[in-house]
Amino acid sequence: MAKFNLRKAEPKDVPDILRLIKELAKYEKMEDQVILTEKGYSVIGFAMYYFTYDPWIGKLLYLEDFYVMKEYRGFGIGSEILKTLSDTAVKNRCSCMHFLVAESNKKSIDFYMRRGASDLSLQEGWRLFRINREGLLKMSAEE
Which of the residues are catalytic?
112
- Main-chain phi, psi angles of 131, to 5 degrees: -110, 115
Strand order in the sheet with 58-68: 45-54, 58-68, 96-99
Residues 6 or more apart from 16 whose CB is under 8 A from it?
Answer: 40, 41, 42, 43, 46
* Amino acid sitting at position 113: M
**d(C-alpha 60, C-alpha 35), whole Å:** 29
